[in-house]
Amino acid sequence: MRLKHVAPVLCGAILLGAVPVAHAQFAPGGPPAVGVSAARPEQVTETSEFVGRVQAVDSVALAARVTAFLTARQFTEGAEVSKGQRLFTLERGPFEADVAAKRAAVAQNRALLANATLTLRRAQALLGTPAGQRSTVDDALAVQQSQAAQLASAEANLEAAQINLAYTDIRAPIAGKIGRSNFSVGNVVSPASGALATIVSQDPMYVLFPAATSEVLALRDKYRGKGGFAAVRVQLRLPDGKLYDQVGTVNYIDPTVSPTTDTITMRASIPNPLLPGAGPGDLGNRELADGEFVTVLLEGVQPVTVLGVPRQAVLSDQQGAYVYVVDATKHVSIRRVTLGQSSATVAAISAGLKAGEEVVVDGLQRVRPGSVVNPHPFAPPAALRN
């Protein structure tokens, strides 16, 4: 009977003896390991970012200069056209008839002028004889001058008729991409009809982007000794996030500040060549399109030296940017920093750190201000190096 009481006691002893073992499994294993990197001079390309819109260098709205039936359209909507290419043809018959009539009027007045000139010469020849009279000469001179004026008027009318005839051929005044036709063949068009179609030039393109006045002044001062805005490269990030492979230059700054937004409009020119394998007649054959929204990146031509740390070492809260600094005793402290121009991988520190100080890059979730860590050099992934 006494053995029945021993078993529960032994079981309790065994359970009590197991408690220390369970606590030993969850005991701290030492300071957390973190990757650190020392703040050191880095070469970075200074970049400023803006939102811009692509704009064609030239844009022409084609319009009818005379009233006539539209008889033919000689282009493909959305394709590129060359300068001087015939695009629309208007009814020519009435204008050809008008040219013929005006040409006949010129011939008639030329003949009348020739006769008046002969009459004037005869009157002048008789002026020294008894049969000659001054009044006859004066009358002949007046008739001759009147016929000369009528001939000049007829020639002007002929020229106007020829111009109107030429207007029946509507040609491209610039090379570029033509849009949709607003009128079908068979419609009557006139100067009051509005645009028949619109042509926009393709290469190069403009990019317009507003910048705060303070930013424009800062950019001006920054590059003043480096060639001004000529020392700035313009690159674009397309709507799909891809970086455009062409580089542009700033070629215009608006002399007027917007009174509502306190911004200045800047303009860059950038090439827009045909895409590889595309032809002038292909649809969608170029990367940039008139009116497209893009992100504008202004980059300095020459890199500058800054005190830098890996970009992922910089955190931020409502008070601003900060990093975790590891001192010689392996203690962590929070340090507020001021950021300068940075790249995708390097954060430029303009204030708050000194060269050689180590910051936590990897394992940020395991550190707290005042904690002790086990630091080791941070090795960035191959994709983030250089």
The reported pLDDT for the residue numbered 343 is: 67
Q: Are residues 361 and 319 in the same domain?
A: yes
Same domain, 291 and 206: yes
Q: How much is the pLDDT for 225?
A: 72
pTM: 0.66
- Residues 298 and 264 grouped into a single domain: yes
Select from 105, 190, 187 the least CA-distant residue to 153.
Answer: 105
What does the pLDDT look like over 26-84, one tens digit per residue?
335 688 999 999 999 887 776 778 999 999 999 999 999 999 999 999 999 989 999 99
What is the pLDDT at residue 381? 64
Phi, psi of 194 (to 5 degrees): 90, -170
Question: Based on the domain organization, do 256 and 287 belong to the same domain?
Answer: yes
d(CA 130, CA 157): 43
The answer to whether 263 and 211 have CB atoms below 8 angstroms apart is yes
- As a whole number, the mean pLDDT across the chain is 85
**Token match 């201000």: residue?**
369
- 72, 107: one domain: no
Same domain, 317 and 348: yes
Residue 15 lies in a domain: no
pLDDT at 16: 36
Q: Give the pLDDT score at 18.
A: 39
Domain total in the chain: 4
Would you state the pLDDT for residue 9?
36
- For residues 206 and 298, membership in a common domain is answered with yes
230 and 349 part of one domain: no
Q: Which residues of the chain have pLDDT under 50?
A: 1-27, 383-386
Same domain as 275, residue 209: yes
* Coil vs helix vs strand at 53: strand
Phi and psi, residue 104, nearest 5°: -65, -40
Q: How far apart are CA 320 and CA 32, in angstroms?
A: 26
* One domain, residues 85 and 100: no
Does residue 137 share a domain with residue 73?
A: no
CATH assignment of the domain containing 237: 2.40.30.170
CA distance 150 to 108: 10
CB atoms closer than 10 angstroms to residue 53:
15
Q: Rounded CA gap, 67 and 296, in Å?
A: 45
Give the domain CATH number at 332.
Answer: 2.40.420.20
Percent of the chain scored above 90 by pLDDT?
58
Domain span at 297: 48-56+202-304
Given this model, what pLDDT does residue 47 score?
A: 76
